[in-house]
Amino acid sequence: MKKIYLELDVSGTLGDDAWNEIEQPKGFISADFQGTGDVACDHTAKKKHSEGEWREVLVRVEAPCFEEAVDYYKKNDRILAVETED
C-alpha cells in the first residue's frame, strides 16, 4: 500500500460532494480527510463551500497502481496539489 496526499478544491460544493464526484483510480483502497486548507470551513452543512476552500485528503492505493493513481489525480481539475511519500 502507498499513500498519496491531495489538496481537494471543494469550492462551490456541498459537504463531501467534490470528493464523491471523483471516480477513483484503479487500485484505490481508502481515503481519510485530514483537515481544511486556507479558508476555514465554518459554515453549515446546507451551505456551499466558499471560493478557495480546499481539504486535505490522504489516499491509500495498491502499490502496483501507485504511479497510475498519482497521474490520474494530477489530471483532475478539483485536485490542487499531489504529494507522495518516498
Q: Residue 71: pLDDT above 90?
A: yes
Residue range 26-47: average pLDDT?
Answer: 77
- Count the Cβ atoms, other than its own, within 10 Å of residue 13: 17
Q: How high does pLDDT run on average in the chain?
A: 89
- Count the Cβ atoms, other than its own, within 10 Å of residue 24: 15
Give the global pTM.
0.86
Among 18, 9, 4, 23, smallest CA distance to 62 is for 4
With beta carbons less than 8 A apart as the criterion, state whether 61 and 69 touch.
Answer: yes
- What percent of the chain stands above pLDDT 90? 70
- pLDDT tens digit string along 39-61? 566 666 678 888 888 999 999 99
With beta carbons less than 8 A apart as the criterion, state whether 56 and 28 touch.
Answer: no
- The domain segmentation of the chain, as residue ranges, is 2-26+35-84
